[in-house]
Amino acid sequence: MSEFAKTLLRKNSLRKQCQELSVADIEKVLTDLTDILEERKEDEARRIAEESKRIEKIEQIRQAMKEAGLDIEDLADLADATPKKKVKAKYFILDDQGQRHEWSGRGRTPVVFAEYMQARGITKDQLPSAE
C-alpha cells in the first residue's frame, strides 16, 4: 500500500496533512473524492452487469447443450482435434545411412545438423535448402 493511501485511510494522519489546508480546499478535496467514488460505483455496476450477462449466456449455452444431449467433454474432444501449425523445413541433410533430416532453422540446432556442419566446416547459411 502506498504512503498516500496509508495517509488517506488513517484519520489522524489525514488530519495532520490537512492542517495547512483551508476549509475551501478541504471541501474541494471532498467534492473530488465524491466524484471519484461515483465513477468507481458506476464502473463496478457496469462490470457486475457485464459479468451477469456473461453468466446468463453461459447458462443458455449449457441448457442448449443439455437439450442436445451434449456435455463439455464433447467440446473438449473437438478442441484437441485442431492441428497445430507446422513450420516448413528450410534446410535438409542426408546422413550416412541416407536418411533425410529436415530443420526449419528455428530454435536450437539439432545434433545431426550441428555434427554435419562441424564435420564439413560450414555454417547454417551454407546448408542445402529444402525449398
Q: If the chain, 131 residues long, is cut into consecutive pieces of 10 residues, what is the mean pLDDT of each piece? A: 89 92 95 96 97 96 91 74 76 88 91 92 88 69
> Residue 80: what pLDDT?
61
* pTM listed for this prediction: 0.48
- Decide: 93 and 112 in contact? Cβ < 8 Å: yes
Torsion of CA 35, 40, 41, 42, to 10 degrees: 90
> Residue 81: what pLDDT?
58
SS3 99: coil
